[in-house]
Amino acid sequence: MTAVTSDATGTPRWLTPSPRNWRLALLIAVVAIPGSIWLAPGNVAFWISFVAVSAVTLAVTINAWGRYPGPLLVAPAIALLFVMNIFPLMWSFGLSFFRFRVNRQAPPRFAGLDNYEKILTDPTVWDRLQTTALVVVFTVAIQMIVGFLLALLFEKEFPGRRVLLMLVLTPMMLSFVAVGAFFRFYYEPTFGLLSQAVRLFTGEPFILLKTPAGALAGIVFADAWMWSPFVMLLVLAGLVSVPKYLYEAAEIDRASWWRKFRTITFPYIRSLLLLALLFRTIEAFKLFDIVFLITDGGPGSSTETIAVYVFRVSFQFFRTSQSSALAYFILFIVIVLTNLYLYFARQRSQEA
């Protein structure tokens, strides 16, 4: 630490003005930014903060130039990650302990665990969680079954397999908005494909999204359509990893189809199935886009999943801090679910 003090003048090195003295720049920024926010009008404070941050960045960059090329190269990515992800995450976590509305001028007031208490006692939250659970159970079950059957189909070589495989994988690569819009038109009562098809038989237009059950089915179908290929891809990877000679040996040993599946195929795909189940459960739990686009939570609030509810609380009711608390509550549930799965997966693999 002796290197910190400089030679001739006796002033410490971190106070010597120099383009590479990032410590000094940081010190100025730490003083200048809160000071300007406190004292200066908004637009002036913004520019002062901007200049301060730029100066720190510049000083750090000049200091690291040539000396730490590795850290310098990853720094932009880390900075972006911090600004776009980590900082908002921590900020919203902090907010969840305050009383704050983003559309009011009032500064945040500390509220302790009030927000958490409010959401945990809110019957709406539990109702939305039930809706979410319904969607999760149905969509994940259908995805697993359809994905699995598709994988069994695509395991075999047949003409046109590659092209068909590509087509089957397309839904997964579409954007949520495209899928949502597509199914919205698909279920549309007057010219939608589904309604038209039903009208051929009944003569009446068919409004799928009219009833709560129909709307739920519509959402589940759209989500399953989009994500079954993902399950298929994982299962297919497991299926092709089974050595062919095991099937040959089983054939020699006159094993039935079911026995082959149970003793050879399934052990190879079990861990991948669990992985697919885990991914899809977490994703389905956070399901927002498709619901928002197809039913917007309707009819009534019968298909409003917890994610849609969070959106409403934060951007329609503008209860910002309460929605932060809710978001962290959901994160907690997802983490618990994840760890449960991992626990079971690990236990199974230890048995094997």
Residues that bind another protein (CB under 8 A): 243, 245-246, 248-256, 259, 263-264, 267, 352
Q: Nearer Cβ to another protein, position 19 or 243? A: 243
C-alpha span between 71 and 73 (Å, rounded) = 5
Find out whether 62 and 20 touch, Cβ atoms under 8 Å: yes
Q: Nearer Cβ to another protein, position 240 or 249? A: 249
Going by C-alpha positions, the residue among 182, 222, 248, 246 that lies closest to residue 303 is 222
Least distance in Å: CB of 244 to another protein? 10
Least distance in Å: CB of 163 to another protein? 25
- DSSP states along 273-311: HHHHHHHHHHHHHT--HHHHHHTTT-STTTT--HHHHHH
Taking the CA atoms of residue 24, residue 25, residue 31 and residue 32 in that order, the dihedral angle to the nearest 10 degrees is 150
Q: Nearer Cβ to another protein, position 7 or 253? A: 253
Question: What is the CA 195 to chain-centroid distance, rounded?
Answer: 33
Least distance in Å: CB of 269 to another protein? 11
Quickly tell me which residue has 């409010």 as its tokens: 118
- The widest CA-to-CA distance across the chain, in whole angstroms, is 97
Q: Nearer Cβ to another protein, position 275 or 293? A: 275
Q: What is the DSSP letter of 263?
A: I
* Number of Cβ within a 10 Å radius of residue 5: 11
Q: Nearer Cβ to another protein, position 1 or 352? A: 352
Q: Nearer Cβ to another protein, position 238 or 297? A: 238
C-alpha span between 192 and 182 (Å, rounded) = 10
Least distance in Å: CB of 254 to another protein? 4
Least distance in Å: CB of 273 to another protein? 14
Angle at 274 between CA 269 and CA 280, to 5 degrees: 120
Q: If 0-12 CB within 10 Å is exposed, 13-18 middle and 19+ buried, where does residue 322 land?
A: buried
Least distance in Å: CB of 238 to another protein? 13
Find out whether 336 and 285 touch, Cβ atoms under 8 Å: no
Least distance in Å: CB of 146 to another protein? 25
Q: Nearer Cβ to another protein, position 210 or 348? A: 348
Q: Nearer Cβ to another protein, position 12 or 267? A: 267
Least distance in Å: CB of 121 to another protein? 48
Tokens read off for 284: 């389905």
Residue 190 belongs to what H/E stretch? none
C-alpha span between 147 and 140 (Å, rounded) = 10
